[in-house]
Amino acid sequence: MAMKSVALKVKKLEDGFIPILQKCETIRDLKKAHVPIIKFSLSDSNFLVTKMVGICDTNKDMVYAHKLFKQVTEPNMYLYNALIRAYTHNHFYKLAIDVYKQLLKDPQGKNHVFPDKFTSPSLIKVCTALMNQELGFQVHAQVCKFGPKLSFATGNLLLHMYSKFDDLKSVCKVFEEMTERDVFSWNCLISGHARLGQMKKARLIFEEMPEKTIVTWTTMISGYTRIECYSDALHVFQQMQEVDGVKPDVISIIAVLPACAKLGALEIGKWIHMYCDKKGFLEHRCVCNALIEMYAKCGEINQAMDLFTQMSAKDVISWSTMIVGQANHGRARQAVELFQEMQKSEVKPNVITFVGVLSACAHAGFLVEGLKYFESMTETYCIEPGIEHYSCLVDLLGRCGCLDRALQVINKMPMKPDATIWGSLLSSCRTYGNLEIAVVAMEHLLELEPDDTGNLVLLSNLYADLGKWNGVSRMRKFIRSKRMKKTPGCSSIEVNNVVQEFLSGDYSKSFSEAIFQILELIASQQSKSNDEPEEMLEDMYI
């Protein structure tokens, strides 16, 4: 009877401190409240310490939380969960695992401490954050051990974890074991397939889903973009706009704009720009960066520059995208000036920035500037040049006629030169009539790209330029002996917001016959208008 009376008294004291703790907003407030708690010998109270650890969690003071926890002689499951959750919220993942290990080693006294359904969510989040798959398997095993029935929340967290691990087998297994699913569960399943490029399977799941959110649609768009199925990405984006209650958000806009850029879908890109302006999305720097890239790749470099100029805060991606865009449009001087302006703005350039500025220097023949910028990569910015930077340097030297120096750079490169570098050197050799270095480049190209006829054509043309017809004859015989054919040309056009792709000699489209009839009509009209018939040269490889 006396024990019961004491317990009631303690409970009453604990309840009296709850309103005081609820008013604690800072650690300073908590420490003031802690003083009378110590005075009344309640520092060992699981109930009060659990509340106090929660306040430490909010204020990100895990040192004090740990001290509070250590004062409790027999922590119960509520306190263990509170501390594990607090460590997880504040990114002290290893400490969260250590507390869980301590829980498992608990002597299992009168409190009978066992992990429950509130323990596993924090631990699964820890495994996901650490990207530790082995630990994730162990935690999953613990979930099955202490709670055979997979709860709805825990199942979703496991789906998310395995999806991040790209463990599609486990994703599917957990999904099948779940008795209750929501749209998040389905999204994790789709995301798992999309991340691995399995878009056919993802599409089947997408069609089967009972409910779709903007996250679902964005996952599909991103998945198609990732595997370079840009037409499919645009198609899904257009389908999404037909669904009531689903409107493009910042993430979906960023996901679809690369597809517009790759396909040259300018009209769709312009519509997206107007939509972003209306919704206030242009305040997001990442949206502006994606729009700049889209305009630049669709040939609207002035529009890209206007948007760039209007940006209030530019990051390295903004500058790099604009510099690369100017370089690709043959505006070398503007690209170099932008780079100089970037340096003044104290935004540190990255590897992409230097690809842009070096490419600009190469195409314009700015030898002195190009060499200076290449050297500044390591000397000023501590950036190790990659193969793409060496490719620009070789191109620059080759275009300026420094072929011997270009070959020296290739031979001293810290990595193996690729076909792009040797091809660039071969092209410069043709320009300057250097047969000796051209043969060296050709030997490497035959190893790297044995089926590419373009390289052989370049060497053949060089032989022809130098009047070495035996060399031309050898090249033609070699091409015929290998039965080589040129890769068919490809083009695309956007009509009524639909992008159509065409391959040379492709008759698969339903309207192909009508197209070729119109082309024949245009050719006949052009032939009649010319005073002299134009000589048709047959491709020597067919």
Over residues 215-261, the pLDDT tens digits come to 999 999 999 999 999 999 999 999 999 888 899 999 999 999 999 99
- Say which DSSP state 107 is in: -
pLDDT for 184: 93
pLDDT for 531: 47
Contact, 261 vs 298, CB < 8 A?
yes
- Say which DSSP state 41 is in: T
DSSP for 372-404 reads: HHHHHHHHTT-----HHHHHHHHHHHHHTT-HH
Q: Considering only 141-145, 206-210, 326-330, which range has the smallest mean pLDDT?
A: 141-145
Contact, 502 vs 490, CB < 8 A?
yes
DSSP for 324-390 reads: HHHHHTT-HHHHHHHHHHHHHTTPPP-HHHHHHHHHHHHHHT-HHHHHHHHHHHHHTT-----HHHH
pLDDT for 529: 56
Q: Which position has the token pair 């429950």?
A: 116
Does residue 486 surpass a pLDDT of 80? no
pLDDT for 473: 75
Average pLDDT estimate for 475-487: 62
- Say which DSSP state 531 is in: S
pLDDT for 540: 34
What's the token pair of residue 323? 């510099």
pLDDT for 426: 84
Average pLDDT estimate for 258-282: 95
Percent helix / strand / coil, the chain, rounded to 5: 70, 0, 30
pLDDT for 539: 39
**Cα–Cα distance measured from residue 183 to residue 81, given in angstroms and rounded to the nearest whole number:** 27
pLDDT for 151: 79
pLDDT tens-digit map of 48-70: 999 999 999 999 999 999 999 99
Contacts of 437 (CB under 8 A, 6+ apart): 403, 404, 407, 425, 429
Contact, 172 vs 193, CB < 8 A?
no
Average pLDDT estimate for 442-460: 75
pLDDT tens-digit map of 390-423: 999 999 999 999 999 999 999 999 999 998 999 8
Does residue 542 surpass a pLDDT of 70? no
At 164, the pLDDT band (50, 70, 90 cuts) reads very high
pLDDT for 440: 86
At 536, the pLDDT band (50, 70, 90 cuts) reads very low
Percent of the chain with pLDDT over 90: 63
pTM greater than the 0.85 cutoff: no
Q: Which position has the token pair 């020296």?
A: 408
Q: How far, in Å, are 68, 69, 189, 398 from residue 82 at the CA level?
A: 12, 10, 30, 66
Q: Which position has the token pair 């994606």?
A: 290
Does residue 538 surpass a pLDDT of 50? no
Mean pLDDT of the chain: 86
* 31-40 long-range contacts, CB within 8 A, separation 24+: 31/64, 40/13
**Cα–Cα distance measured from residue 485 to residue 103, given in angstroms and rounded to the nearest whole number:** 69
Q: How far, in Å, are 97, 137, 191 from residue 168 at the CA level?
A: 25, 14, 10
Domain ranges of the chain: 491-529
Contact, 161 vs 137, CB < 8 A?
no
Does residue 389 surpass a pLDDT of 50? yes
At 288, the pLDDT band (50, 70, 90 cuts) reads very high
Closest alpha carbon to 256 in 236, 277, 283: 236
Average pLDDT estimate for 203-222: 94
Average pLDDT estimate for 330-335: 95
Give the CA-trace dihedral at 215, 159, 169, 131, to 10 degrees.
Answer: 100
pLDDT for 118: 87
At 307, the pLDDT band (50, 70, 90 cuts) reads very high
What 3-state DSSP class applies to 300? coil
